[in-house]
């Protein structure tokens, strides 16, 4: 993934803003934040973000108006609206105004990151360097495809993200809590989830060659050829 993509996070609630910012950084994005609509408009102009996560309910100018003004200025940056107002008319308003997507609150961070990636992918076609390779394993982050020895491996979104994380850190032993934070965005959680998904990955990858995911007992996992 393009590691330097910059996301403007516009949200007046500090705890939600922080949560989003931390998660985006975990996933390799750069961030700028604004707590008001006016500041968002200034930053959108000055910082030229690749995408805007735009809360609708802001203390000054609402998110719809921010989007309207961006478009009026000729700024076509992709916009994803965040809002608690989950009514069909709001969805239509947001999309009519030139928003690219709409995420109702409360949302899971994982789902939000997936939307960000999907909108960025639509906005800018993949560069060839979006492909991760380890041994005979090949993962294309832009196309969401995985091949081992040329054979397509069908993965769920979580399996895909876990594998991508392991491949980006190939050769390193990653603890279960590191994986929980990096893949799921959880500071706390049941490490059993990691074990379960590692076993799913092994079941799909191991029949195609020698095992790639190695268990470091009492520590975690490492992916290496
Ligand atoms: Ca708000």
Res 31: pLDDT: 96
Distance 112 CA to ligand 1 centre (A): 16
The separation between the first and the last C-alpha atoms of the chain, rounded to the nearest angstrom, is 22
Distance 170 CA to ligand 1 centre (A): 39
Q: Which of 7-16, 97-106, 118-127, 129-138 has the lowest mean pLDDT?
A: 118-127
Domain boundaries, the chain: 6-123, 131-223
Under the banding of pLDDT at 50, 70 and 90, the label for residue 2 is very low
Cβ–Cβ under 8 Å, residues 66 and 58? yes
What does CATH list as the number for 131-223?
1.10.10.10
Average pLDDT of the residues in 20-44 = 95
Under the banding of pLDDT at 50, 70 and 90, the label for residue 30 is very high
Distance 182 CA to ligand 1 centre (A): 26
Res 1: pLDDT: 42
Portion of the chain with pLDDT greater than 90, in percent: 59
Res 89: pLDDT: 66
Q: How far is CA 129 from CA 126, 143, 146, 167, 210, in A?
A: 8, 12, 15, 14, 26
CATH H-level, domain 6-123: superfamily: Response regulator (3.40.50.2300)
Distance 57 CA to ligand 1 centre (A): 4
Q: Which residue has the higher pLDDT, 191 or 128?
A: 191
Res 197: pLDDT: 96
Res 94: pLDDT: 66
Distance 214 CA to ligand 1 centre (A): 44
Distance 83 CA to ligand 1 centre (A): 7
Distance 11 CA to ligand 1 centre (A): 6
Distance 184 CA to ligand 1 centre (A): 24
Res 189: pLDDT: 80
Answer yes or no: is pLDDT of 185 > 80. Answer: yes
Distance 86 CA to ligand 1 centre (A): 13
Distance 62 CA to ligand 1 centre (A): 9
pTM of the entire structure? 0.55
Cβ–Cβ under 8 Å, residues 56 and 85? yes
Answer yes or no: is pLDDT of 35 > 60. Answer: yes
Q: How far apart are CA 166 and CA 170, in angstroms?
A: 6
Most confident option among 64-73, 137-146, 194-203: 194-203
Res 99: pLDDT: 78
Give 54-101 pLDDT, tens digit per residue.
999 999 999 999 999 998 888 889 999 998 755 666 666 766 677 788
The rounded mean pLDDT for the chain is 88
Q: Find the angle CA(182)-CA(83)-CA(110) to the nearest 5 degrees.
A: 15
Distance 30 CA to ligand 1 centre (A): 22
């Amino acid at each position: 993934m393009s590691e330097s993509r910059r996301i403007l996070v516009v949200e007046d609630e500090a705890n939600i803003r922080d949560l989003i910012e931390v998660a985006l950084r975990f996933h390799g994005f750069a961030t700028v934040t604004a707590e008001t609509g006016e500041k968002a408009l200034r930053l959108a102009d000055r910082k030229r973000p690749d995408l805007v996560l735009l809360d609708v309910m802001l203390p000054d100018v609402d998110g719809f108006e921010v989007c309207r003004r961006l478009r009026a200025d000729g700024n076509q940056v992709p916009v994803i609206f965040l809002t608690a107002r989950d009514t069909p008319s709001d969805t239509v308003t947001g999309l009519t105004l030139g928003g690219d997507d709409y995420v109702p609150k409360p949302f899971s961070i994982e789902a939000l990151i997936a939307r960000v990636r999907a909108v960025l992918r639509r906005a800018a076609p993949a560069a060839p360097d979006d492909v991760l390779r380890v041994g005979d394993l090949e993962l294309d982050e832009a196309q969401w495809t995985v091949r081992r020895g040329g054979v397509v491996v069908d993965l769920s979104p979580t399996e895909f993200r876990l594998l991508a994380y392991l491949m980006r850190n190939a050769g390193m032993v990653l603890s279960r809590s590191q994986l929980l934070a990096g893949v799921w965005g959880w500071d706390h959680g049941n490490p059993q989830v990691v074990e379960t998904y590692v076993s799913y990955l092994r079941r799909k990858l191991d029949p195609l060659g020698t095992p790639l995911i190695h268990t470091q007992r009492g520590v975690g996992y490492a992916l290496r050829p």
